[in-house]
Amino acid sequence: MLQIAFIRQNTALVKERLALKNFGDIALVDELVSLDDTRKKLQLEFDTTQSKINAASKEIGQLMAKGQKEAAETQKQEVATLKTTLQPIADQLAETEKKLQEQIVKLPNLPSEIVPPGKTPEDNVTIREGGKKPALHAGAVPHWDLTKKYNLIDFELGNKITGSGFPVYIGKGAKFQRALIQYFLDYNTNAGYKEFMPPHMVNETSAFGTGQLPDKEGQMYFVTEDNFYLIPTAEVPVTNIYRDELLKETDLPVKMTAYTPCFRREAGSYGKDVRGLNRLHQFDKVEIVQLVHPEKSYDVLDEMVNHVETLLQSLDLPYRILRLCGGDMGFASALTYDFEVYSAAQQKWLEVSSVSNFESYQTNRMKVRFKDANGKNQLVHSLNGSSLALPRIVACLLENHQTEDGIQLPAVLHSYFGAQMIN
């Protein structure tokens, strides 16, 4: 969440950065400043009136001590009159503060200065590529045929049990899924990330804290009876672990990782891009989250990008890293890098990770602070990334490593899966 003091002091800059993010209601910035003007005026009226009441009340005590009861009674009447005017001011002030809060959370985070302009994924900038696209054998097929051939995943069974987008992993398919999760977690914990196993549902306060509300209500599954949300990513519960906490500067950075299933309605998704594992309503993902000193967050962002890149390299997959343009960025992000892996059988790039710096946008909502060397409380910066999302990684591993005899697995997975091939 942006801070009203920053908006007031940098109104033109805020409008300029929001325009880069293609935010459609720039006039909201002026409305917020106007609301804050009203709030300041009401606060001054309230404070002035309260000060008069306090002074008059003090004087009443002094008059009574001197035996001037008549004068004291007059002052009491004055206090009573002031109190009747105070409550309407307090009510207006509370209403204005509420409206200011309701409106300010509608503003997305401001994009970083290095975010490229643009409106669609076609405007994203490729930072670098790695790996080599494989030359598949003549009979190569996409992953939805491979999973059927080797009895790894049953999409129709998932459709029977729940609906489309809820696949059932079977036998070696389930084992392969579990092997990848364990490898990703080990890779992260070996890099200093502490593992957590968080709840898979969160309350409204947690969803608000990371920016899912009020931006993504329609994309989350909602448990109406208890007012809980199924998590769209482990980022939500993991980042909220430190909500309302005051950290020591020496506690930073806080590095966390977690595996969870993720639930997304994916409303409006249809067509060839949702076939097989390309887009699901329930999928597995291993996440990394960091809470860091604000002066170090962009160095940490580069570190996290390198962390995910090295993980992809270990899987022998061709990949590219994109810096997202303003129009393709998430609501809460200041800068995002997407990782895409090339699907050889489908002959297209599939997103498998996003690594983002949210600066203080999330931590201002969650009130995650640290006490600096001068004893001043500051907001930490939060970052997160997929390390990694499994469905499309599985799709690309199956497709890119397929041979006529089976799926030849990367060397790093042999001990986790207990075999060198899936056949």
**Within 264-389, where are the H helices?**
297-314, 361-366
69-104 helix and 27-65 helix, angle to the nearest 10 degrees: 160
Say whether 274 counts as a known binding-site residue: no
> Cβ(399)–Cβ(140) under 8 Å?
yes
Which DSSP helix (H) or strand (E) runs through 65? helix 27-65
Alpha-carbon distance of 191 to 127, in angstroms, equals 24
Q: Is 24 helix (H, G, I), strand (E, B) or coil?
A: coil
Q: Is 384 annotated as a binding residue?
A: yes
353 in a labelled binding site: yes
Phi and psi for 67 in degrees, rounded to 5? 85, 15
Q: Which run of H or E residues covers position 262?
A: strand 254-263
**Which amino acid belongs to residue 62?**
Q
- Tell me if 354 is assigned to a ligand binding site: yes
Q: Kindly list the distances between the CA atom of residue 377 and the CA atoms of 64, 245, 300, in Å, as whole numbers in the listed order.
A: 45, 11, 21
264 is in an annotated binding site: yes
392 annotated as belonging to a binding site for a ligand:
no
Name, in order, each residue with C-beta under 8 angstroms of 58's C-beta and a sequence gap of 6 or more. none
| H helix runs in 66-171, sequence order | 69-104, 143-149, 155-161
Q: How many CB atoms lie within 10 A of CB 268?
A: 7
In the 8-state DSSP scheme, what is residue 220?
S
Residue type at 249? E
**Any binding-site annotation on 74?**
no
Task: Write out the binding residues for L-serine.
Answer: 233, 264, 287, 384
Binding site as annotated, residues for ATP? 264-266, 351-354
The annotated binding site is made up of: 233, 264-266, 287, 351-354, 384
